[in-house]
Amino acid sequence: MKRTAVIMAGGSGERFWPLSRAKKPKQLLSLASEKTMLEDSIERITPLISKDDIFIITSQLLLEPIRKALTELPPENIVAEPLKRNTAPCLALSAGFIAERYKDEGSSESEISIAVLTADQNIYPNDEFIRTIESALNYVESNPALATIGIQPDRPETGYGYIEVNEPFSKISKNPDIKPVVRFLEKPSIEKANEFLKKGNYLWNSGMFFWRLDTFINTMIKFTPEIGRKIEDIRKGYSKKTRIALPEALDRITPIFESYPNISIDYALMENADNVVVTKATFIWDDIGSWDSLDRVKKPDSDGNIIQGNTAIIDTKNSVIINASIKDKIIAGFGLDGFVIVATDDAILICPKDKVQDVKKCVEKIRTEKGDKYL
């Protein structure tokens, strides 16, 4: 069985504005460690999957920046979508690309498994991550199933989707177990999140997926035929020649993408398919989605602050204050509680920490009134 990994890295990371920008979004920033989040994602999976078999799916805007940043990967393994169409078309593209790539090597679709990962998560310890991933891959390689990883909630989180199973996973066993998924649920209210936490048979949706290539294609054809039936056309668009000759490949793939609906893999497939299973993570997981998540991946000071760069802060607690400007600029502040202040050379963000999910609204206002200059 040929094991491969697909890392989705085309997002704009707007909740991390102004540090995250269109040409250098959060996956190319060092938020959880000294390395970029994308580099961390690659290194995390390499004990199980060779770098030659890791594929990055990104946007045309980020294709060259990512190729320059990831010189250890073959350049043809970094693939650009013709246009943004959400995660279901993104993964259809990856399926067609991988099918054609390994056809050259003599591997059929039933002999290829795929681990779908993201570039915006903090995960440790890595040996537990690899053990869980391997359990999921072993299962889908032997069964015509789609697998995902669920995270046992430790708080009533309203920012994640949830996965319901029939009964709670064992809190004692460290061995990965597999259970059928009852249903996927959207981000809940705080009341529902508390209810899910109390019941115990609800997991956070990690956004990681595992399948055999033939299972994915067949299930997509069954439940979302408007996407699934065109995966073969995508495969034909990626000949050995056009995988390197990007413009020619894009000419072939673009009409297919233009016909695809803008739909997530959850809506298109995972919520409808009848062959979905979940295994519970035995590792620590966090989605690095907005400025408040830094509290969980970096160690706050004794006042609960995350402070970086040239600053002078007095009588302040529970705040994130980052001066990322390379100019001779200082951030001074006092008497703050629960604020986010982030400064770059050309922009400053100031907002309450409990409102960071609304940074995207601020970004949209800038886009509407000022254009893309500051984005």
Residue 134 has pLDDT above 70, yes or no: yes
Distance, CA of 103 to CA of 82 (rounded, Å): 23
Q: Is 205 exposed, middle or buried (0-12, 13-18, 19+ CB in 10 A)?
A: buried
Domains of the chain (ranges, CATH numbers): 2-289 (3.90.550.10), 292-370 (no CATH)
Name the residue among 342, 299, 303, 302 with its Cα closest to residue 320.
342
The identity of residue 273, as a single letter, is A
pLDDT score at 245: 47
Q: How confident is the model at residue 247 (pLDDT cuts 50, 70, 90)?
A: low
Distance, CA of 6 to CA of 115 (rounded, Å): 6
Rounded to an integer, the average pLDDT of 76-101 is 94
Q: Is 332 exposed, middle or buried (0-12, 13-18, 19+ CB in 10 A)?
A: exposed
Name the residue among 326, 316, 270 with its Cα closest to residue 145.
270
Residue 243 has pLDDT above 60, yes or no: no
Strand pairing of 2-8 and 54-59?
Answer: parallel
Residue 141 is encoded by which pair of tokens? Answer: 């390689």
Q: How confident is the model at residue 6 (pLDDT cuts 50, 70, 90)?
A: very high
| Torsion over CA: 69, 71, 72, 77 (sign) | positive
pLDDT in tens, 250-300: 888 999 999 999 999 999 999 999 999 999 999 999 989 899 999 888 899
DSSP structure class, residue 266? I
Q: How confident is the model at residue 242 (pLDDT cuts 50, 70, 90)?
A: low
Name the residue among 157, 268, 134, 270 with its Cα closest to residue 203.
157
pLDDT in tens, 24-48: 999 999 998 889 999 999 999 999 9
Degrees, nearest 5: CA angle 288-291-293: 45
User: Scanning the structure block, which residue is given the tokens 């903090």?
Assistant: 122
Distance, CA of 44 to CA of 112 (rounded, Å): 20
Q: How confident is the model at residue 20 (pLDDT cuts 50, 70, 90)?
A: very high
Rounded to an integer, the average pLDDT of 161-173 is 80
Distance, CA of 274 to CA of 278 (rounded, Å): 13
pLDDT score at 86: 92
